[in-house]
Every structure is written in C-alpha cells, then in structure tokens.
Amino acid sequence: MKRSLSIHETAEVEINEAADFYDLENPGLGAVFVDDIQRAIEHIARFPESYPLIQGRVRRKPLGRFPYSLMYSVRPNEIRVLAIAHQKRRPFYWHGRQ
C-alpha cells in the first residue's frame, strides 16, 4: 500500500539548522547532509516497517554518515517524519509531536 509521507514543520527546521551547521564546518557538507536525509526518507517510504519501534508507533532510522536519526510514525495512510534527532542529545525531546 502506498502511504503519503509528510514532515513535521519543526523537523524541517531541524534539517535546515543542521545543514547550516555542517556548511559552516565544511562548505558543501550541508548539502551532503540533506542528501543523506533524502535517501533515508526515500527508504522509509519504500520500507516503513523495516526500522525498530522505539515508542508506541514511532520508529527510528539512523542516518549513515551523520549522528542523526529520523524519528517517524507509520499510520494506515501516512508516514510522518516527526524529528531529525541528534543521536547524542536530548532523547525523546520530540515526544509531543504528531
């Protein structure tokens, strides 16, 4: 079944802030980060149940090159990216997002 995919507006802000940070560290690295995010989103769109549940219906897809994970929920008709969370900071800060 094909589900729609949406990204929480705060998760979009998190993507942009992290990309800006990486660009300051090394010009062009922000684009690499965004590409990694895009590949992760494409993968969860194709295989939404392939990553472990961490709380309720929320799953975590770690990025390959960067210390971030996509936190997302799978519903009957939708996949919702809730957060782009750094793996070493503030666990579950995104808990109230839907």
Which CATH number goes with the domain that contains 25?
3.30.2310.20
Q: How far is CA 57 from the centre of its chain?
A: 15
Give domain status of residue 23, yes or no: yes
β-pair partners for 59: 53, 72
Give the number of other Cβ atoms within 10 Å of residue 83's Cβ. Answer: 24
Give domain status of residue 92, yes or no: no
C-alpha torsion 73→75→78→79, nearest 10: 20
pLDDT tens column, 38-88: 999 999 999 999 999 988 889 999 998 999 999 999 988 999 999 998 877
User: Pick from 17, 15, 3, 27: which is nearest to 70 by CA?
Assistant: 15
- Look at the chain and report how many structural domains it folds into: 1
75/73 Cα distance (integer angstroms): 6
41 DSSP assignment: H
Q: What percent of the chain has pLDDT over 90?
A: 74
1 pLDDT more than 70: no
Give domain status of residue 94, yes or no: no
Give me the domain span that covers residue 62.
4-86
Q: In the numeric block, which tokens belong to residue 15?
A: 């993507």
31 pLDDT more than 90: yes
User: Pick from 24, 47, 46, 38: which is nearest to 70 by CA?
Assistant: 38
The confidence score (pLDDT) of residue 88 equals 74
95 pLDDT more than 90: no
- Split at pLDDT 50, 70, 90, the class of 94 is low
Give domain status of residue 91, yes or no: no
